[in-house]
A and B are shown apart, each in its own frame.
Chain A
């Protein structure tokens, strides 16, 4: 997730990267949380629509077991037959890259992105085949199941007790120009495939995960889109929590709350400390303990050097699109502070684009 807005150099680099990609085909992925949600149907339906609009569309690969509705769509499109390879007595079909490149359609539909190619194939993995097509300027529309995203497989195994054999690296999924979530109620899947072992609960967990993965990708693309337009905009489509650490703050309470909130909102969780000079050793030790705790709780910890701590925190919060700022206050306030305002008041007054949550300091302070 992009936390920080990029420098002009970074923007330039991105523009250059885009230019390099200019001749590249677009990658569009239909992501489903389980088999039978209707990914292949959506992919082929997209092929049908594109063909209707006059684009040159072919099928590079479609699984052999399909329902009548999918079959109906398949029959309307040109198929480039796959290569049949014999491996250990079974026949496997792989994309015929040479034939597709020779035919050079505008759009190629490739089902089951996560397939491993049998030994002796041009590429070990199908996603690498797809990469070749993209490099050749062919747009690829493909379908993938959540369980095949490599980096998610440990978590998914904990949910389902099963691990898919084949996988696609998450980076490849994220490199897609467009990603579409294919959603359906778990009950529908079970009706479509009554023997399905996965129960509704596990399916629901996978479904939630797929939506969050897609939301992350969308969030990333949204930020890139805003950055490329140079828009300094605060959309708040995703919550982000920032905990401000000071020596005397009740850091444990703030961090526990921050973590719990971040879990509920499925959002970014940051902690920041503005370095104070001349701290007593005991306070310095406290700060270090707080920061260690923040890291333990999974916060993304940042230490800032600044003379104006309120302004530094504000700038940091804006740069990281923070929606909820957690700060501590001390119960004692001196008359000077009442008259001239203390840093907390300044912060509250200035941080009007985000929620500011004030936590009491520890009772002892």
Chain B
């Protein structure tokens, strides 16, 4: 018996903006309209109108798959009906707000997981996303804007897109849109203009979005080169002086909340350096039984957070933190260790050196990165 043929994965295209109101949804719908005119079977899987007239007008003539209604704590919520879309089986599905978190009780926690189901079924998905939802940027964006973005999306989900298109307007134009009440209600707009939508915040986010897409393009080109080096290809600007061993970043996790910052930053740097990324926690016993319930929960949460970002994690048994880190690093070909700042500076540490100093001394050939604190 032959297994049923699995369809080729659908194409995954993201319209990336730097803030609400730049026109991501508009451009996504426009692309859908263009496809429909060419005779492609396009449906809207989820669309958030936000009462924006210009955007709503772009849905004209496009079929919408009705949303699923769910009750949660007495309130009715509407979510994308992934099963209904699968039954309808269009060629292309438009899905707004990729970083959205589904209401509890939904089959999947995150909308991007629903999108994966559609892609796996061979449906092409066009979707919209703001750059501040990228997990690895979370601390940086908080530091810049004072806003802690709650709905995040792991970077690897975005990396998998076949195409990311920048949707750009100038901050000035965006602020004008806000002032005219195109994006939010009057009252909400005034608050937004003072807080998040300042010219400097918008400019910084915009720069980050542009650089991010440039980076994604470069990564795709580099992956193509590795698959099939092109004949007569233009030599890469990086001189191939010495063949280098692949970089490998090791993140040292502990029970402190700063571990999350460390993980995000390590992931980001590893992505840019095309490095492998590992994370460890050093403990007297691998079962973590010697930790207080609170600490154990924190460590497990941090390890889970790292795995969610596709970082390989391990608990390393050892009495001596510095020695444990360095031994693991040497055994695993680590080139760079990421650590947080040690906080306690007691008398004993002054004599024997802090963990950081000891790692630096033991590490010999490795580089040690002490990650910036994120403060406001």
By a beta-carbon cutoff of 8 Å, the part of chain A in contact with chain B is 28, 53, 158-159, 178-185, 187, 201, 204-205, 207-208, 211-212, 214-215, 218-219, 221-222, 225-226, 229, 231, 233-238, 257, 260-261, 263-266, 323, 329, 331, 333, 338-339, 345, 348-349, 352-360
B214 touches A215 (CB 8 A): yes
A-B contact count (CB 8 A): 148
A345 touches B170 (CB 8 A): no
Distance to closest chain B CB from A103 (angstroms): 25
Is the C-beta of B109 less than 8 angstroms from some C-beta in chain A? no
User: Can you list 24 contacts pairing A with B, beta carbon distance less than 8 Å?
Assistant: A159-B234, A201-B230, A205-B221, A208-B221, A211-B211, A211-B213, A211-B214, A221-B203, A222-B200, A225-B200, A233-B200, A237-B204, A263-B237, A264-B273, A329-B360, A339-B350, A345-B357, A353-B373, A354-B372, A355-B370, A357-B369, A360-B363, A360-B364, A360-B366
By a beta-carbon cutoff of 8 Å, the part of chain B in contact with chain A is 13, 140, 143-144, 163, 165-170, 172-173, 180, 199-200, 203-208, 210-211, 213-215, 217-218, 220-221, 224, 230, 234, 237-238, 265, 272-274, 336, 341, 350-351, 353, 356-357, 360-361, 363-373, 375
A333 touches B361 (CB 8 A): yes
A185 touches B13 (CB 8 A): yes
A238 touches B168 (CB 8 A): no
Distance to closest chain B CB from A299 (angstroms): 15
Distance to closest chain A CB from B202 (angstroms): 9
Question: Which residues of chain B have C-beta atoms less than 8 A from A260's C-beta?
Answer: 238, 273
Question: Which residues of chain B have C-beta atoms less than 8 A from A184's C-beta?
Answer: 165
B345 to chain A: closest residue by CB = A349
Distance to closest chain B CB from A174 (angstroms): 15
Docked CA distance A185–B13 (Å): 9
Scoring A179, A236, A237, A339 by chain B CB atoms within 10 A of each residue's CB, the highest score goes to A237
Distance to closest chain B CB from A254 (angstroms): 9
Question: Which residues of chain A have C-beta atoms less than 8 A from B144's C-beta?
Answer: 235-237
Question: Which residues of chain A have C-beta atoms less than 8 A from B200's C-beta?
Answer: 222, 225-226, 229, 231, 233, 235
B207 touches A219 (CB 8 A): yes
Docked CA distance A237–B202 (Å): 11
Docked CA distance A221–B272 (Å): 25
Can you add 11 more A-B contacts, CB < 8 Å, to A211-B211, A222-B203, A257-B367?
A: A181-B166, A187-B163, A218-B206, A231-B200, A237-B207, A261-B273, A263-B238, A352-B341, A352-B375, A355-B265, A360-B364
Question: Which residues of chain A have C-beta atoms less than 8 A from B220's C-beta?
Answer: 204
Question: Which residues of chain A have C-beta atoms less than 8 A from B199's C-beta?
Answer: 225
Question: Which residues of chain A have C-beta atoms less than 8 A from B210's C-beta?
Answer: 181, 211-212, 214-215, 218
The 10 closest A-B pairs by CB, nearest first: A237-B204, A211-B214, A222-B203, A215-B210, A183-B166, A178-B170, A208-B217, A218-B207, A185-B163, A357-B369
Docked CA distance A181–B170 (Å): 9
Docked CA distance A205–B230 (Å): 14
Question: Which residues of chain B have C-beta atoms less than 8 A from A179's C-beta?
Answer: 170
B265 touches A212 (CB 8 A): no
A180 touches B372 (CB 8 A): no
A338 touches B351 (CB 8 A): yes
B372 touches A338 (CB 8 A): no
Distance to closest chain A CB from B155 (angstroms): 15
Distance to closest chain A CB from B181 (angstroms): 13
Question: Which residues of chain A have C-beta atoms less than 8 A from B372's C-beta?
Answer: 323, 352-355
Question: Which residues of chain B have C-beta atoms less than 8 A from A264's C-beta?
Answer: 272-274
A208 touches B218 (CB 8 A): yes
Distance to closest chain A CB from B129 (angstroms): 14
A267 to chain B: closest residue by CB = B211
Question: Which residues of chain A have C-beta atoms less than 8 A from B356's C-beta?
Answer: 348
Question: Which residues of chain B have C-beta atoms less than 8 A from A233's C-beta?
Answer: 200
Docked CA distance A53–B167 (Å): 22
A207 to chain B: closest residue by CB = B217
A212 touches B211 (CB 8 A): yes
Question: Which residues of chain A have C-beta atoms less than 8 A from B208's C-beta?
Answer: 237
A357 touches B272 (CB 8 A): no
| Residue in A28, A355, A360 whose CB lies within 8 Å of B170 | A28
Question: Which residues of chain B have C-beta atoms less than 8 A from A323's C-beta?
Answer: 372
Docked CA distance A122–B144 (Å): 48
Docked CA distance A207–B180 (Å): 33
Question: Which residues of chain B have C-beta atoms less than 8 A from A354's C-beta?
Answer: 372
| Residue in A225, A235, A360 whose CB lies within 8 Å of B365 | A360
B336 to chain A: closest residue by CB = A357
Question: Which residues of chain B have C-beta atoms less than 8 A from A349's C-beta?
Answer: 341
Question: Which residues of chain B have C-beta atoms less than 8 A from A339's C-beta?
Answer: 350-351
B170 touches A204 (CB 8 A): no
Distance to closest chain A CB from B262 (angstroms): 10
Question: Which residues of chain B have C-beta atoms less than 8 A from A333's C-beta?
Answer: 353, 357, 361
Distance to closest chain B CB from A253 (angstroms): 9
A352 touches B234 (CB 8 A): no
Question: Which residues of chain A have C-beta atoms less than 8 A from B368's C-beta?
Answer: 357-358
Distance to closest chain B CB from A21 (angstroms): 15
Question: Which residues of chain A have C-beta atoms less than 8 A from B272's C-beta?
Answer: 261, 264-265
A178 touches B166 (CB 8 A): no
Question: Which residues of chain B have C-beta atoms less than 8 A from A352's C-beta?
Answer: 341, 372-373, 375
Question: Which residues of chain B have C-beta atoms less than 8 A from A357's C-beta?
Answer: 336, 367-370
A181 touches B168 (CB 8 A): yes
B221 touches A204 (CB 8 A): yes
Docked CA distance A208–B222 (Å): 12
Docked CA distance A266–B364 (Å): 29
